[in-house]
Structure 1
């Protein structure tokens, strides 16, 4: 699994960061998402990433299954 982020869609709501701060961060200047770990390995983190994708109000995040 790999995380992708569409920066043109991101509105900087920060739900991803609140859900899994080990994987997501935000840019200081405009709040858009930064993916810190595109391929998290452990299942607990993957579950939280799935939740972050679900919570994203702009649908800027996606999971690509390998």
Structure 2
């Protein structure tokens, strides 16, 4: 899949799953707030949550396009 397709699929998935997009924005805000070195574990957890949300969104989207 080319990068252009990934972005359009992501945009299309957001129309079906806007709550996940809101969760991702919240996780990104938390990531930006936790930039000092004592928060590395928390940052890693936020990155994991973000990746899990994106993964869930793409799996749900692929399920609906079969």
Q: TM-score under structure 1 normalisation?
A: 0.37
Q: Per residue, is there more helix in 1 or in 2? A: 2
Q: Per residue, is there more strand in 1 or in 2? A: 1
Structure with bigger gyration radius: 2
Higher normalized contact order (CA 8 Å, seq sep 6+, divided by chain length): 1
Q: TM-score under structure 2 normalisation?
A: 0.37
